[in-house]
Amino acid sequence: MPQDVFVVAYDGTDQHAVDFAVERAIRENAQLVIVHILEWSPYTFLTTEELAERHKARQQELARAEEAVMKPVLERVRRAGATADGELRYGSAVDILCSIAKEKGAAMIIVGRSSSLSTRVFGSVASGVAQCATVPTVIVP
């Protein structure tokens, strides 16, 4: 029987969600896909200078995210005994989490919960994913 895949949203801080995912993955012998999203809209405004340097800046941002976010979390997860892959993507967090879950045929999405005034007003990634996900979604406090 093929392994189940759990998609885990990781913004660099929500350790609770990762810990929960690791525990479940070990118990159910599932594979984790840890997703870190660099928020990006193709409709934001850039100055002429930023245009010329965008490709360079993107490469630097990806390298930094890989080094500072993805590598440490993957190490931690693997040390804990789970199998995991990482995905770094640009775009809107909610859309990308839902589309990766589809791409990978995931059985579950696990996402942390943040609480601040702005998320209460504009909605959080967790509430967005809950709206668009086509698979069961666990929101970890």
List contacts with another protein (CB under 8 A): 38, 40, 42-56, 58-59, 61-62, 89-91
DSSP 51-87: HHHHHHHHHHHHHHHIIIIIHHHHHHHHHTT-EEEEE
* Closer CB to another protein, 65 or 111, in the complex: 65
* Closer CB to another protein, 58 or 120, in the complex: 58
Output the smallest distance, CB 71 to another protein, in A: 19
Q: Which helix (H) or strand (E) holds 126?
A: helix 125-132
Output the smallest distance, CB 48 to another protein, in A: 4
Output the smallest distance, CB 58 to another protein, in A: 5
Strand ranges for the chain from DSSP E: 5-9, 31-39, 83-91, 108-112, 137-140
* Closer CB to another protein, 45 or 81, in the complex: 45
